[in-house]
Structure 1
Amino acid sequence: MQFFATLPGNTFTILRRWTSVSWGETQPRLNLERYIRSFSYDAREIFEHFKFYEFIQQLDDANLLYKVAKKFAEADLSPSSVSNHDMGLIFEDLIRRFAESSNETAGEHFTPRDIVRLTTSLVFADDDAALTKPGLIRRIYDPTAGTGGFLSSGMEYLHGINPSASLRAYGQELNPESYAICKADMLIKGQDISNIKLGNTLSDDQLWNERFDYCLSNPTVWR
């Protein structure tokens, strides 16, 4: 897999090509874990909250890990082949498919795209004139970030009006898996992922001292 990512802020950089040959068929799990642990803390945390190590252990026990990883190693996902924008679309589609397969818990992970777009347009509508200013910087916040749909939609909306504008994303999410998805999405989009927090916004607001220009949220309704 050719994957080279150089993103701003404290995100992560991988400048090493990963191939099925470089990590070997004899100890695929150990070598893959060693490779992932060479990532930055923020990138490693995403894998940990996905319970990735448990998953690859299951694949390894079934003698499937090397076969699956070899398929990924054959894919060229470098920026010259897949742009950040296209990678974001791919990731978003994977989130949607995951949500659809979750059935009862789908709403916990994913807000339907049409609802996200409508809500975003309503929030930004009164500010459209100001959003065209060159070098504009705005901050958006989602206290129940989920997988980051509202944050991503806000960035897309502002970029469509003003490509030179910058929208800095902030969010907090209680569910560790949703948090990991959101953080990965923000990583792909070049955001400072230290602004995405894990925890209960009501009892442990980790962004209480920040100020934001926009706030969008779709809190989970617990039954």
Structure 2
Amino acid sequence: MKQFELTIFGQSRILLIVFMFPISLLTAFFIGLEINISILNIIIPILFLGLVGFVLYYFTVGHLKVIQKENRLEFEWNKKSLFNYKKIEPIEINQIETLVIDQNQLLKKIITRERVVKINNGKIYKKDSAKFIDFLTENSNARVIDSWDVWDEKGWLKPAYRINTIILISFIGIVVIYTILKGFNSRLLLFTPLLISQLFLYQLQMKRKKKLTATSAHTA
């Protein structure tokens, strides 16, 4: 019998954070603009973001124990006061068909013949995630793909690439226009680099996956 301790970041909950975090950044930015006291217009937005960040982190993060008993994997969540995750039913290792693993270290999903088990461990507080991934790849005949492969198989990759391109260009344009009309504001640094770098990272990842897919199709 083996046990693996995992720190989980719920995928659907992360999507909510992706939506809420930019709104929180903009809210903090406008709070700072409305406060005329020079020190408070920096401290209060930071405190606001800190509070929002703590709530979102507690909402998103879960701690999962995976127990291997012969050919079966059982899952036990550590209970929280709020925002607990749904129970995961046991799965048979020999029924695992696909593992969705990003960057060779982020286990997103375990797909069996009958259902999809969402895992989504993070880069921080890794605990036993690497050992668990190695265990799954060594003890199952599952194919290994990443999240962009899933999007590509569903036909979402090209539309997502176009949408991300539009959002990236539009956001950069808004920042440039704002700077020209209003002048540079140091509070833009609270959120602009983070958003642009994340959008640019997605752009590079999707572009790379499109090239790999095109190359594979041409070779086949």
TM-score computed with the length of structure 1 as normaliser: 0.30
TM-score (norm 2): 0.30
Structure number having the greater helix percentage: 2
Larger Rg: 2
Structure number with the higher strand fraction is: 2
